[in-house]
Every structure is written in C-alpha cells, then in structure tokens.
Structure 1
Amino acid sequence: MLDKEMSFDQESMLEHFIPVDINDLIAGLLTELDLPEEEKRLFKQFCKIFLALYHAHFFTKLQSLKHNYLPFSPDRTTLLLQTHSNEALQVMQNTLIEEIKGIITKANYRPIGQEELNQALSETSPYGLDLSIDFDDFDEIHLYYRGWASRTEQKRSWRTFFLTPETIEIPIYRRLFLVLKLKPAKKTEGTTSFFSDPKAFMLDKWRQLFQMQMSQEGDNSVIYLKLFKDIPRADLEMLFPNTRVEMRRLDKFKIGVGGGGGVIGGIFTVVSKLARAAHPAAILLAVASFMGLMWRQAGKVLSSRNRYLSVLAKSLYFHNLDNNLGVLSNLIEMAEEEECKEAILAYGLLLHKQHQGCSAHQLDRLIEDHLQKLYGVEVDFEMSDGIRKLSEAGLIEETLDHLIKPCSLNDALLRLDQEWDGLFSFENCSA
C-alpha cells in the first residue's frame, strides 16, 4: 500500500529538485567561473564526456528495468516465454518496486504519505467534483511528486452571491508519479440481489466489471505506472481508475427541490385527472404524462453526472504525460539529468579559485547561493549525493582536515576517458 514516510508541509520545505535545464546550468557556471579561456574549453569537454558516461550507465539501468517490468506490463506485445509461480512473481514484484523507488528517488521525487493523502482527499475539488475511491481494491499504491506550486483562478462564490468572482489559490503537484497494482478478484458467494439491496447489488456489479477491466481479463499480476503533470492536490482521487463520481450536496439539493416539486405537482395532477376521467384513453394519457415527468427528472440527474464525467475526462486528458513502459523511460531520463546536475554543479564551483579546498557544508551553501543568485530558485541541494558521485569517479579528494579539493581539468578528462574505455572493454562486454 502507501509508503509510510512521514508527511510534511510542502510550502515550508525546500526540494532537492533543481528546476534548471542542464545546458543552462553549464552556461551559468562558465559565466561565473574565474577560469582562463583554455580551461573553460576543457570544462565544456568535461561536461560533454560526463553527460555521455552517465547516459550510458542509465541506459543499462533502463534496459534492466524494462526487462524486470515485462511480466507485469499491461501493454506487453512480445511473447512471455517463461511462466512464474505466484511466489516467484511476488519476489519479482517486490524487487521491481524497490528498483523503481531507487530511480524515482534519484529523480528527486518525494513520496506522498498516508497523512498527506488523507488531507488532500478531504479538500474540495476546484473542478466542483465530489469523488470517492476504495483503496481496498489495490495491493500496491505508491505516490510520488516533484515540484510544488500553486495557481490562481477566478471563481464565483456564494459569499459574493455569485455576482463577482473571487481569486482562489489552488495548490498543485507539478509532476506526479503513481504505481498501482490490483488485488486478486474475490469470489463472492450469494451475491446481493437487486431487490434486497439495489445499491449494494449495483456496486458489486461495478466492482466486478472494474476488476475484470483492470486485471487484463483475469491477469492479476499487472502493475500500472502513471505519470501526470499539474495535478491539483484536491483532485488526487481522479488519478485512480476506480473513482466514482458523486454529486455535491448543492446539486442534490437543486435537483431535489426542482425534481421533488415537479413530482409532487405531477402526482396531484395525475390524481385529479384520474378522479375526473372516465375514458380509458384519458387515464392512459394522465399516466403517460406522469411517466414523462419522472423520465425528465431522471434525465436531469444523468445530465449532471455526465457533466461531472466530462470534466473528469478532460482533466485527465490534459494532465496525463505517460503510461507504463513510457513512464520508465521518463523516470530514467529525469534521474540521469538530476544526477548530472548535482555532480557538475559541485565540481564546477570547486574549480573556482576562491572555493578550492572548502568543506562539504561550505560547498553546499555555495551551490544553493549560486542557484539563488543566477536563477532565483531556492533548493535544498543534496550535497552528500553530489560528493559521492564525484568521489566514485575520482574527480575530488578529501584532505585530512575534511576539506574537498577537485582534481585538475586535465586529470579529470583523463580519468573520464579511461572510464569510458573501460565501460566498453572486452571484459565488461562479455560480462
């Protein structure tokens, strides 16, 4: 089910995500660095090789991730030549989920915990929808977001008697990633009959149809991956496939008052006509008029529901970015770019003559100040991750007094060139 990470207030917590394109970051570093022209040329070459190396590493991860996802993909077009037991599928599923969590974390997404989700579900939708979902239908639910913002809209309210629009703030998730896996369908004995409990009967039928559609005609191993953009926090329900649209109390009241008054008036009219009527044709006409009135009121209910469904469909059409296998490619690309941003920013600022030989904390502040100064963005730079990548590549060294120093650009290019040659060496290819 949902991840157990603690919920937090997004508006007061900075993100690790760096909302600047990698090419703009490199151009900004070249502007800020106090380097001779020859070293600036070497730095451009360093960035080019570093990006190519990381692209090769992440391409290998993508191929592995796609292979592991194949048994669970709802869009599979190739043959699945190997069958797995339920126990083996469960192990593979757990491994796949952990791999996806690792990639989504590298892409600087944050998990949405149960407390935050409950808060979002309790808010009123800006689209005027009342939605409900049953989380018991799912075996796996994982929600992650990246980028927190808000947009303003003009909306008429009863507070101003619907005369003048007022400005409202709508909190949104800029990117939102969703993992869903359905629970195995339950075989129910003695299903509720329509006459004993019509609502429960229709709900059971709807759930059976939903289970059949989502489980790919009975295949309960399917895992759905979804990527969305600009999702209002109050509309998280619309991302789930078992969402049920419910009318708001105001709409129920309007239909109830209008429809109820019409039905009562119709009953009185029919009764009075029946009391005066002696001819069978007159009686049939009165009954037909009453049935027509009932059909019109039912049509109003269906019209309101269809209007809600139309709003929901349009919202999903414009908010959906990718699905299933395509989501994996998107996540890998985002993780690759975020990892490169962190490493290049750290190494680039260490090259500045004034910053060579600084502590990790000082470097962290330098990078955050650099991003604020050049791009006006505030982030919580993930210093430990940036240092780890540079250290693994042999591009920095730490002195006995815990100061970080970069190797020269010439040495850095030599080491990257050696790593590139090793990546496609005969030993690695045969392995």
Structure 2
Amino acid sequence: MLYTALGTGIRLGNSLTRTMGSLSAKMAEYRKMWKPSEPKDWTVQYQERYIPFSKSQLVEYLAQEFHSSNGFEKQSFLSFVKQLEVSLLQPYHSVLEDLQVLYDPINPDREAMLETTSLADSEKLSREKEVLDHLQDILDQANYNILSEDALAYALIVHHPQDGVQVHVNLDKYEYIRYWALGQRLGPLTLQMTQKPQDSLFTRSPRTQPDRRYFKRVLVAARPRNSHMVLKCFKDIPLEGLEQLLPVVKVRTSSFDRTLLNTMLLVSGGIVFVNVGMVVLTDLKIGTSFLLFLFAGFMTFRTWKVFAQRRKAHSLELAHMLYYKSTSNNSELLGALTLRAQEEHAKEAILAYSFLKQLNIPNDGKKIDPEITLQLKKQVESWLQAKSGLEIMFSAERALENLTNLSRTKE
C-alpha cells in the first residue's frame, strides 16, 4: 500500500460540477478594484510547500551538516536513503498504473489497435472528475497548491505590461477550469511570455526586467464544452499570465496597442487625405461626399488589415511561448507527477530522519509527541529558509507518519 501521504489530498468531489458563475462574480469584483497587485488574501491562500532542492542535493547538504561526525553515522544515513528509495518504488509504480488505467478510456492520445465505442459526453465528464479526484492525492504529495478562484479571476482581469500577448477567455465555453502550481518566485523572468519583446513594434519593456510573481511549474486541467479534458504542465509562468495556458482562447490586442494603432492610422490617413484627396477633388472634380465615402472605405479596409496582421503576430507569439514553456501533457504528465510526488515524499522523510537524529528522538515506529512534531516543523522550516532564502511550509505530520510507516514495514 502507498503510505497515508497519498490519502490526505483535498477532494475535488462535486466542485467540478459548479458553474463558472462564482468565477464570473469574482472577476466583477476585481474589475472594480484599482490596479490590484495580487489576489485577495494571497499569502493565506498560497503557502509554499515545495522543497527547492533535488533529492541528491538535499542528501549532500544533510550528510555534510548533520552526519559527518564519523564514518559510521554517514554510512547509516546513506543506507537509510537507499532503503527509502527502494521502499517507494513499488507503491508509486502501483499508484501510477492505477491512475493510467483510470485515465486510458479518456486519453485523447490513446493508440488503440481497434476502434472502440466512444463514450458519451456525460460519461467522459464523470470519468474526468474521477481522474482528477485521484490525481489530487498525487498533487498534494508532490506539494502542488491548488489555485483558488480568486487567483484565476485576478489572472483573467489583470494584464502585466510585459505580456505583449493578451487573450480573451469566454467562461461559457468551459465545463471547468483548474490550476495547480508550485515553486512561487518573485524576480525577473529569464523568458518572458512573449519570446522576443524587443522585436515588437510597441515594446514598452525597460532594459532591466522588472520583478514578477511567477511559478516554476503550473498544471492546468480544463475542459471546453463538447470536447475532452486538456491536462498540461508548464514552467516559469507568471501569475498574470495563467489565462494564456487555457485552450479555446481568443487573442486580442491590448488597449494601449489599439489606441496607438488607431492614432497612427488616423494621422497617416489624414495626411493622405490632405495631400492626395484634395488634389483629386480639384483635378477630377469629384464630389466631396463621394470622396469621403471612398476614403472611409479605404481606412476601414486598412484598419481591418492592420489589426488582422497584429492578431496573427500575437497568435504566433503565443504558440511560440506555449511550445517552449510546455513540459508534458496527458498520459505522460501522469508519470511526471507521480515521480515528483515520489521525490517529495522521499525528501520529506529524509529531512524528518535527519532532524529527529538532531533531537535525539528514536525512529522506532512509535507515534511522535505533538510538541516534538511542532519543534521538528519549526527547525526544518528554519533550515530550509536559511539554505534557500524562501519561506517553505514543511508537512511535519505527514513526513513523520510516512517515516513511522517505513519503520513498521522493516519489522
């Protein structure tokens, strides 16, 4: 069996059946605000749990700092790590197999040798809910945070000036939209949402990129109506750019670009009318009203052409960004998430093992006192902050429970 670490996830249950009405209401609230800088109660809603070191890095740090007093202690620690890795292989492999079996009937990339009867839309929706419900346990152990409707409403309303591409999302076209994220950071993005903002005609980017709130990984589960669930993972996505990851979006021109384009068209059109139109009016004796009608038609066609070209350029930028930011999708993503959950599971157990040693608490399979659990939590969080510079919430109860279960399986 997989330890109870995978049984603590927040169940989606009937939440996927809720309409998008509450999200629309939250969007209306953000429209009334003046330049909101983040979703409401963001620090309460999102608490980072992802341990920002690989397992090998973590083992190296802990071995040097806590297990280097003598060769026997270090060897004992490394032996524990190896035993832990082996003990997690079969449980997580079984979890992945069960998840893939559950997902296979609705997998849009399935390579079936024979055509099978397609599922009805209502049955597909039911199976998708079941998959997401099971997947939530994996995501919880992988230390993903489910993003609230407040966060999504904020992303749909607020647009960062660095994001040249903007999209319009029609909520009526979706059955549900869910986001999970981990690795929140505040700093300049090495790769902006538009690949080469310096090539844009209306670049407003300063030479020094501003600090932005972004996530190392973002998982999207969205279902357009009368279609199938889209399950994708992306890297280095800013909070204000979450909506660009959705399917069935419409690229739109920003208010700033629309104003600038219209101004340029009006100015250039006025110059053409004064320098050419008046000559035509004088030489050919064409009526003023007819000339104005021709000019209006020309300007309408020119405006449509310019905006169509602009939308095509933005669509290409969006496709380019999604190509480079995408990490995995659909069935392959299930394997990647399971591996991440397995690694986070191991890292939490390794931290708990090392710090219990420092507290001289034996790892004998017995239940740990709540006061010791709290002390362990504070010490690990303090150590992680000192090492990474980030505030990370350590799941001490889960780590100790997994460690206890591991000790019991050895007996």
TM-score range, shorter chain: 0.7 to 0.9
Alignment match, 2:178? 142
Output the CA distance in 2 between the equivalents of 1:29 and 1:130.
45
Output the CA distance in 2 between the equivalents of 1:175 and 1:98.
20
1:178 is displaced (CA, Å) by: 0.4
1:273 is displaced (CA, Å) by: 2.8
Residues 106, 127 of structure 2: 8 Å contact kept? no
| 1:12-54 per-position Cα deviation (integer Å, ceiling 9, x unaligned) | 9641111111112222222213764234323312211211221
Pairing partner for 1:94 from 126, 129, 148: 129
Task: Give the 3 Å change call, closer, same or farther, for CA 271–181 of structure 1 in structure 2.
Answer: same
Alignment match, 1:59? 93
Does structure 1 residue 392 correspond to structure 2 residue 399?
A: no
Output the CA distance in 2 between the equivalents of 1:90 and 1:224.
12
Output the CA distance in 2 between the equivalents of 1:287 and 1:339.
71
Alignment match, 1:170? 212
Task: Give the 3 Å change call, closer, same or farther, for CA 322–86 of structure 1 in structure 2.
Answer: closer
Residues 45, 148 of structure 2: 8 Å contact kept? no
Does structure 1 residue 372 correspond to structure 2 residue 376?
A: no
Q: Which amino acid aligns with 1:181?
A: R
Q: CA RMSD in A?
A: 3.7
Alignment match, 1:201? none
Does structure 1 residue 17 correspond to structure 2 residue 50?
A: yes
When Rg is computed on C-alpha atoms for both structures, the one with the higher figure is 1
1:329 is displaced (CA, Å) by: 1.1
1:69 is displaced (CA, Å) by: 0.8
The alignment partner of 1:74 has SS state of: coil
Report how many residues are paired: 353
Output the CA distance in 2 between the equivalents of 1:108 and 1:164.
35
Q: Identity across aligned pairs (percent)? A: 21
The alignment partner of 1:172 has SS state of: strand
TM-score, scaled to structure 2: 0.74
Residues 229, 319 of structure 1: 8 Å contact kept? yes
Output the CA distance in 1 between the equivalents of 2:131 and 2:299.
56
1:102 is displaced (CA, Å) by: 1.3
1:95 is displaced (CA, Å) by: 1.6
Alignment match, 2:8? none
The alignment partner of 1:394 has SS state of: helix
Alignment match, 2:4? none
Output the CA distance in 2 between the equivalents of 1:65 and 1:234.
31
Give the 5 Å matches for 1:72-111.
72-78=106-112, 79=114, 81=116, 88-111=123-146
Residues 103, 332 of structure 1: 8 Å contact kept? yes
1:84 is displaced (CA, Å) by: 5.0
Output the CA distance in 2 between the equivalents of 1:292 and 1:173.
46
1:272 is displaced (CA, Å) by: 6.0
Task: Give the 3 Å change call, closer, same or farther, for CA 7–91 of structure 1 in structure 2.
Answer: farther
1:140 is displaced (CA, Å) by: 2.4
1:98 is displaced (CA, Å) by: 0.2
The alignment partner of 1:175 has SS state of: strand
Alignment match, 2:71? 37
1:340 is displaced (CA, Å) by: 1.0
Output the CA distance in 2 between the equivalents of 1:258 and 1:343.
62
Alignment match, 1:49? 83
1:349 is displaced (CA, Å) by: 2.1
Q: Which amino acid aligns with 1:236?
A: L
Give the 5 Å matches for 1:297-308.
297-308=303-314
Task: Give the 3 Å change call, closer, same or farther, for CA 7–324 of structure 1 in structure 2.
Answer: farther
1:170 is displaced (CA, Å) by: 1.7
Output the CA distance in 1 between the equivalents of 2:81 and 2:175.
43
The alignment partner of 1:389 has SS state of: helix
Q: Which amino acid aligns with 1:277?
A: L
Output the CA distance in 2 between the equivalents of 1:258 and 1:370.
57
Q: Which amino acid aligns with 2:338?
A: I
Task: Give the 3 Å change call, closer, same or farther, for CA 164–90 of structure 1 in structure 2.
Answer: closer
Residues 175, 227 of structure 1: 8 Å contact kept? yes
Unaligned regions of 5+ residues in structure 1, if any? 157-161, 185-219, 280-285, 396-414, 419-431
Alignment match, 2:28? none
Does structure 1 residue 320 correspond to structure 2 residue 353?
A: no
1:344 is displaced (CA, Å) by: 1.8
Pairing partner for 2:164 from 107, 128, 149: 128
The alignment partner of 1:168 has SS state of: coil
Unaligned regions of 5+ residues in structure 2, if any? 1-15, 24-38, 199-203, 287-291, 363-367
